[in-house]
Amino acid sequence: MSDESGANTGPVVADPSAPAASQGFRSAVGASAAVPRGGISVPAKVDLADPEPTPAEDIKKESSPFSDGDRRVMVYAWMGFLLRILLVVGAVFSLVQYLAAREEKRVERTLELVDMWDGKDFQDAQSALKARLVALNEANEGLMSSNPSEDERRIYYESVGKQLMTDAGGTMPLQEFEPKFDRIVYFLNRVSTCVRRNLCDREVADDYFLDYARSFWSYFSGYAQSMRKNGSANYAKAIEEYVATAPKAAGPATEP
């Protein structure tokens, strides 16, 4: 077929009567006509489908060293496993020993405080305080009913404690008594701090000092409050915390 200009636009067909060279030229021209303009060929279509899954029976199972056919590999695997168990057991045993040693040290510190409390200086201070309290309780015996309430008992104890810290509180001069009283306050503060910081064993400390600390605080809590108002902001604060955090007392306080 030809267009208006006479050019042949149909496919190139080799003329059997044409020479071989002419036919080769026409074949080349026909091949070049199949290449898109610009000389860039279109790539073949890429298959993006997922590959066929590998059958389960074709997957090689991973061998375990504990069931390996090689005896040496199996022995090494079990030896490593047992070694790990021994390391864990050793770590737990060391932790138990450490905790037991800490507890033993706390008990030891508490017993050191007991030895200090039984020493001459502190025994002398306790005797001086007890003598003044006995004398004042005898003098004020009629101020409290036979069956007082908690508030009545608290008011009475605080009144006796404040009176004890005056010149009229006993036969021993106040200037001589005050250092003995301060020694007791120092010791009970020390017990409270040791327990609060977990340096002493609470149960052992309570067995030896809690009753005394309760009785002491019931008499001298009012005096401690007055000392704090006068500038000693933390006076006997540790004793108050020790008594407040202790198990509830079964009965009323007695003389220290």
Between 107 and 48, residue with greater pLDDT: 107
Which of 10, 7, 3, 44 is closest to 30 using CA atoms?
A: 10
With a CB cutoff of 8 Å and minimum separation 6, the contacts of 220 are: 161, 165, 236
- Read off the pLDDT of each residue in 150-171 and give the average, rounded to a whole number: 91
Answer for the pair 214, 246: CB distance below 8 angstroms, yes or no: yes
pLDDT over threshold 60, residue 50: no
Residues 208-229 have pLDDT tens digits of 999 999 999 999 999 999 999 9
CA 32 to chain centroid = 83
Question: What is the domain partition of the chain in residue ranges?
Answer: 105-244
Rg (CA), the chain: 51
Task: Based on DSSP, count helices (H) and strands (E) in the chain, helices before strands.
Answer: 8, 0
pLDDT band at 84 (very low <50, low <70, confident <90, very high): confident
Query: Coil, strand or helix: which one is 2?
Result: strand
pLDDT, averaged across the chain:
78
Q: Letter for the amino acid at 235?
A: Y
Note the pLDDT tens digit of each residue in 230-255: 999 999 999 999 999 988 765 556 66
Per-residue DSSP letters for 173-218?
A: -HHHHHHHHHHHHHHHHHHHHHHHTTSS-HHHHIIIIIHHHHHHHH
Share of the chain above pLDDT 90, in %: 46
